[in-house]
Amino acid sequence: MAMDNQLTGTIFLSKLVTQYAQLHSKTVGESAQEYIRQIGIRTGEWLEDFYDHSKERWTVDKYADVIVDIKNSIGGHFTISEVHPDHVVVKATGCPFGEFVQDAPHLCNMTSSVFGGIAARRFGYGKVSLRKRIALGHPGCEVAVYFEPNESEEGRVYKDLPITPENGNPFEWEEETIKALHRELAKSDDMIISLLDELEDLRKKVNKSNGDFN
């Protein structure tokens, strides 16, 4: 049977990720943003290998090409808007998470940390300003990435990032980082269990009340 709105693996995964991110944000609060930031930094380092076959020094033009290609390769619709010696600006009419990103706007920290992490590793410094965000209801995204300190606008700064040794794995996180993330996940799990217990108590009270009226 043909359907107008086809379910695809990409749509399903986008919905699943954004709903998990939304739940995680509600249970652990601001710590969820740090999770996304750390994942983005490491993901960006991993993605760099796809564009670094000759190990040459990157130009600003190559950096802009790479970050746009990364986003478009995973389902986004990004274009280069401006290229300057000290910064670039890219725009988007579509997010890799689609409309579902509005369920979990803190996922934009993934874009910030991927772009900023790559800039920091390639140029020694990166500051990312998320000027416009589909996640917040804007018709498109606009992101500026600076390669040196600049006070013209606020943004998240990335510098002095550890680089995984050659032939290493950026996803083999340091023991202390894993422990910290585990503690935050435990908080999330504990809160979910507490909420479920409260819901069960409420259900019992409602059932008891209904019984009293019968």
DSSP assignment of 88-112 equals: EEEEEEE-TTGGGGGG-GGGHHHHH
pLDDT digits (tens, 9 = 90+) for 101-138: 887 787 888 899 999 999 999 999 999 999 999 999 99
User: Average pLDDT, stretch 70-83?
Assistant: 94
Distance of CA 103 to the CA centre of its chain: 13
Q: Domain range holding 197?
A: 172-214
- Residue 185 covered by a domain: yes
Look up tokens 């190990």; give the residue. Answer: 55
Q: Is the domain of 28 the same as that of 126? A: yes
7 CB-near residues (< 8 Å, 6+ apart): none
How far is Cα 49 from Cα 209, in angstroms, rounded to an integer?
62
Number of structural domains found in the chain: 2
pLDDT digits (tens, 9 = 90+) for 156-194: 999 988 787 776 777 775 555 556 556 655 655 565 666
pTM: 0.72
- Residue 4 covered by a domain: no
Within the chain, how many helices (H) and strands (E) appear?
Answer: 5, 5
pLDDT digits (tens, 9 = 90+) for 11-43: 666 676 677 666 766 665 666 677 778 888 888
Q: Is the domain of 72 the same as that of 98? A: yes
Q: Is the domain of 193 the same as that of 93? A: no
Backbone angles phi, psi at 5, to 5 degrees: -105, 95
pLDDT at res. 80: 98
3-state SS assignment for residue 188? helix
